[in-house]
Structure formats: structure tokens, C-alpha cells
Amino acid sequence: MQAKTPFDISSDWHQQITNTLWHNTLHTFGDKDFRSALENGILLCDAIKPGLVKKINRLPTPIAGLDNLSVFLRGCEELGLKGAQLFDPGDLQDTSIRANLKYVLNTVFWLGKAASGCASYSGPTLNLKEFEGLLGGLLSFLFLSKRHL
């Protein structure tokens, strides 16, 4: 069996949340990779606390995606995440730099940590210990691979 990556763990947790919140399996990554599934912000908005995101822009345009990502990030701030814990919307939009996804994973980690510390949250939990170890390994890999380019 292949070892899970932070992308796998994040995707699994995200799908568990959306399936729990919305009671269906329409909110999935499907056959898309991590970045492609999240770049329009719809799945991220669906996964955040119900009612926090009032309206999701479902138009298939890059501007709509940036709008959704901004709404998601504002929601994260309302849940207590700090600016340094949030990715930049461009991190999902820029397909040329895979290393930017580490910032997205970092936000997922902090969102998972905030959810686990919230008394009113009873949904699926992110395995923070496993995720943190894998994320640390990914960051080390990205750092080393960048040094050797």
C-alpha cells in the first residue's frame, strides 16, 4: 500500500467534512488533483462552517475562483486563523509553482487545528500528528529539491 501524502490526508478530511455537512457525495475531488479540485474555491467554501460563507460564486471563471478563495480565507480569519496561517489565492491559481501548495496545506493544517479546538465543532477531525509529520517531510523535500535546481 502506498503511503499517504499531506495532499491525500487533506483531500480525505475535506471530503469527510463536506459529506458530513451536506449529507451527500457531490462535494468531492473526483478525478482532479489537489490543486485543480480547490482552485475555484467552491470545495473550500463548502467545507467551512455552515452559514459563514453566504454565497458561493459558481461561475466557471478565474475571477469567480479568486472571489471564492477570498471568501474562504475571510471565513478562516473569522474562525481565528491569522494572516501568516493563510495561503494567498494565487497559490492555487499559479500552476507553474507546485511549491506554493505547501501554503495551502499549511492553511488546511491550521484550519484542522482550529476545528479540533472548537467546542461546537463535532465533525470529522484531521489527524494533526500524522499530517504535521507528513507536512514537515514535504516541506523538507521541497526545500532540498529547490536547493538542487
The pLDDT assigned to 77 comes to 95
Contact present, 102 and 90 (Cβ < 8 Å): no
Is pLDDT above 80 for 125? yes
**Weakest-pLDDT range from 10-24, 93-107, 133-147:** 133-147
The pLDDT assigned to 12 comes to 83
Highest mean pLDDT among 13-17, 66-70, 135-139: 66-70
pTM for the structure as a whole? 0.77
The pLDDT assigned to 71 comes to 94
C-alpha 113/C-alpha 25 separation (Å) is: 24
**C-alpha cell at position 105:** 496545506
Q: How remote is the C-alpha of 119 from its chain's centroid?
A: 21
Quick: pLDDT tens for 133-146. 766 666 565 555 44
Quick: pLDDT tens for 76-92. 999 999 998 999 998 88
Instruction: List all residues 6 or more positions away from 37 whose beta carbon is below 8 Å from its beta carbon.
Output: 11, 29, 30, 43
Three-state DSSP at 126 gives coil
User: Cell numbers 481565528 correspond to what residue?
Assistant: 80
Question: Domains of the chain by range and CATH?
Answer: 6-147 (1.10.418.10)
